[in-house]
Structure 1
Amino acid sequence: MTNEIYVTDIETTGTDPKTDEIIEIGSQKWINPQPSFGVEGPDEQTSWVKFSALVRPNQSVPAETSAIHHLTDWHLSEALDLSDVLTDFTYKMHPRPIFAAHNSTFEASFLEASLAEKGVKPRWICTYKLALHLFPDAPSHSNSSLFYFLGVFKNLPEFWESFLQKNRLHRAWPDAYITTQLLNIFLNYVSIPEALRISSAPALLPKVNFTKDHRGKKWAQMDESFLTWVLHPDRDFDADVIHTAQYWLDKAKQEDE
């Protein structure tokens, strides 16, 4: 097991890895992870190494995407291309490193093929899935919401106020840094091997996030007809939704016996 975790975030031109491109990579390398409930700084046991780079894409950044991260063609005009950025990023990297990201499926979908060209095949920790597992009743499982819900800001308000003034969220490295603080908390409850196992399995979702009549309601409250509808082969739901619907349908059938 490697003693480094690369907590990573990317910004892109859109959400489809088949047609869109990475325009920024930010990563916080956590060396010798020693989790705590505060903000960790460099010391003899654990340390952080920052990586941040813009990436020049082969397409223009759509206005609606710039509105999220505020990166435009102007910002990227003199950036390196993705291959060169990843050459720098993966320099001396273990061939099977541990990466972490909030909703790692997204980062993996954009990064894995290009990382493989550099001889790197990461294992992924998903802090979104860890949050669902550890804090299923949190009001939201977004990065920013968990940052406040778990008291990260409250622990060191002066530090975080300064950080948020200097760093724009929805940019790659600041978001990766926030994710690092969440992972720092989560690893007090689960080991790294457990985190990898949870991250590789479908998540049990707390609330439905689709259809007008069901959005925002708890999956545990859904009736068998709705669960059966979700599981129909013609539906195109992701693995987490299918797993959750099957879990609650099986549970309902057991209770009926």
Structure 2
Amino acid sequence: MASAPQIIRVIDLETTGQAPPAHGVCEIGWQDVALGADGRWALYGDGGALYVNPGRPIPPITQAIHHILDEQVADAPFWHDVARPVLDPWPRRVALAAHRADFEQKFCTASLTHGADWICTWKCALRLWPDSPSFSNQVLRYWRRPDGLEHERGLPMHRAFPDSYVTAHHLRDMLNAVGVAQLIEWSKLPGLLPRVRNGPDRGKEWRELEEEALAVFAADRDPDVRFTAETEQARRRGGGSIGRQTAQDSLL
């Protein structure tokens, strides 16, 4: 009997806002990535998208982002009817993935995903492509120009299928670079930021900071900033070299 293929499902949600249960899902999109017989990961199947009735009006401020109208979702099924078949299909996916997966996980709870592991392509991009000018899904798309990405199929942005389709190309290349286990491990940690994002040291690499400035960032409220500063402090205690992070360093 042939074993089930290794597949990871990329998910993207469009919602009425940031925080359930006050906000709900109004569209879910997906695109699978599978491990081929040649040992390389590639996009798998056509993917898809479904409207979801969020059970409340869509605020104008979010309509202005994804342009989904109340009348378009009025007759759509509710989230509890849509989520499980998309998030936990058969054959079971090795993991789920999303760009900024912390957001999707607010709505795609463990009970709906059957406790699936997640890969955050944003966190992994910070590690693998630290020279990118930004780490949004779309900036990575145009900075990297992934092979095989059909321009029109990845549009419009801020819609569930096109965004998941673009993310799937980033995920494919990440998987072929370092594999599933490493991406899941990185995704469980806060983001490791390549450069300082705010303040007078904005744009600097963390190795360039004075100890006093680094200590301030290590007490920051943002978990990504705090984790990055603490990681740099630990590197200095270990006596590592001073200077630009190498590609090998970024994998550690």
Query: Is 1:186 the equivalent of 2:186?
Result: no
State the alpha-carbon separation in 2 of the partners of residues 254 and 199 from structure 1.
Answer: 24
The answer to whether structure 1 residue 20 and structure 2 residue 23 are counterparts is yes
In structure 2, C-alpha distance between the alignment counterparts of 1:144 and 1:172, rounded to whole Å: 13
CA contact (8 A) 1:125 1:199 kept: yes
Secondary structure in 1 aligned to 2:178?
coil
Deviation, 1:229, is 2.1
Residue 230 of structure 2 corresponds to which residue in structure 1? 246
Aligned-residue offset at 1:207: 2.0
CA contact (8 A) 2:5 2:34 kept: no
Contact 1:95 1:121 survives alignment (8 Å): no
Q: Which amino acid aligns with 2:169?
A: Q
- Aligned pair count reads 235
Work out which of the residue numbers 160, 165, 184 in structure 1 matches 2:150: 160
Rounded to whole Å, the distance in 2 between the matches of 1:247 and 1:87 is 37
Change in CA separation of 1:87 and 1:250 when aligned onto 2, cut-off 3 Å: closer
2:22 partner letter: T
Q: Which one of the candidate residues 76, 79, 83 is aligned to 1:79?
A: 76
SS at structure 1 position matched to 2:176: coil
**TM-score, normalising length from structure 1?**
0.80
Q: Secondary structure at the match of 2:17?
A: coil
- 1:4–1:69 Cα change, 3 Å: same
- Relative to structure 1, is the Cα distance of residues 24 and 30 closer, same or farther in structure 2, using a 3 angstrom cutoff? same
Residue 162 to residue 174, structure 1, CA distance change in 2 (3 Å): closer
In 1, are the aligned partners of 2:13 and 2:25 still within 8 Å (CA)?
Answer: yes
- Which ranges in structure 1 are unaligned for 5 or more consecutive residues? 42-46
| 2-structure distance, mates of 1:16, 1:217 | 32
How far apart are the structure 1 equivalents of 2:75 and 2:60? Answer: 19
Do the aligned residues in 2 keep the contact of 1:97 with 1:121 (CA within 8 Å)? no
Match of 2:10 among 7, 17, 20: 7
Equivalents in 2 of 1:201, 1:2: separation in Å?
27
Which residue of 42, 45, 48 corresponds with 2:45?
48
Percent of aligned pairs with the same amino acid = 33
Amino acid at match of 2:177: Y
- 4+ runs of 1 displaced by more than 6 Å? none
Q: State the TM-score, normalizing by the size of structure 2.
A: 0.81
Structure 1 residue 98: Cα displacement: 0.6
Partner of 1:115: 112
Q: What is the CA–CA distance in structure 2 between the aligned matches of 1:204 and 1:90, rounded to whole Å?
A: 27
Match of 2:214 among 227, 230, 238: 227
Local SS of the residue matching 2:108 = helix
Could you list the per-position Cα deviations for residues 114-170 of structure 1 after superposition, in whole angstroms to 9, with x for gaps in the alignment? 515xxx111011111221111111111111111111122xx45xx734425xx4111
